Amino acid sequence: MKATKIIISILLGAGVCLMAYLCVNSIVTPIKFEEARMHRQTQVINNLVCLRDAEAQYRLSKGHFTADLDSLINFLKVTPKKEVYKEKSLTEKQLEKGLTEPKITKILDRARSKAQRKMKFQGPDSLANLYAYIWEKDAEVKANGLQGFRRDTIMTDMIQALYKGKYTHETIHEITYIPHTNNVRFEVETNNHYTTSQGIKVPIFEIRAPFTTYLHDLDKQELANLIDKEKKLEHYPGLKVGSIEAPNNNAGNWE
């Protein structure tokens, strides 16, 4: 009898412990899953934004998007980026008079062209001497108060210009892989002949990372719940930029 009571007490104690564990686990598991998901999401979004910037430059240069990630990375490595070097900004008074960036660029271009025809500017300081000359001599520059203004188009390394030292030519390929996977690449789809309801042709693209790729090793039930929730809301079960269905200004579905 005594032994039976002891066994029952042990079983009840074990049952209480098991129930306590299950209750705690039911609270802790979703919290851990969500923490891991948010941490990984930040890294996936970083790569998606980097790829979006690359696609935008590719289209600017080629006139269309590409679904070939190798071609996109090669483009970043070999294509220089045009940037405008600027000195001085327009004042409120100049803006009120109707001066704009395109206007002052045209004025400075005309002034440089005229000066180069009249004078020979050579040597390492030729550009500085050219500007010094037009600031002092050019009537249109002086009339608009553009002394000290410079607007020059320069060619820079595309990777450095876009990513500010975050990636190099040796590491730029990393943006094509979905973080927390065994080098699984982002899914890319393009439609360079999409036609709007107004008959306007607009190239579009979509870059995707399904939940099943970068959350694959987390709690299976929580992952299934997340996917089911997004599908019921008619949302893409993962992270993506752009849309292959219609132009959306290349927005991310987290924005």
237 and 170, same structural domain? yes
Q: Are residues 175 and 103 part of one domain?
A: no
- Is residue 82 domain-resident? no
Residue 208 lies in a domain: yes
The domain total for the chain is 2
Same domain as 227, residue 170: yes
Pair (175, 238) in one structural domain: yes
State the 10-residue block means of pLDDT for the chain, 255 residues long: 58 53 60 94 98 97 96 97 89 92 92 84 72 92 94 91 95 97 97 91 96 96 95 96 95 95
pLDDT for 73 equals 98
In a domain, 154, yes or no: no
Answer yes or no: is 39 within a domain. Answer: yes
- According to the model, what pLDDT value does residue 22 have? 47
Do residue 109 and residue 233 come from a single domain? Answer: no
Residues 116 and 226 in one domain: no
**pTM, two decimal places:** 0.76
Classify residue 149 by burial, with Cβ atoms within 10 Å: 0-12, 13-18, 19+.
buried
User: What is the residue range of 25's domain?
Assistant: 2-68+162-242
- Does residue 253 belong to any structural domain of this protein? no
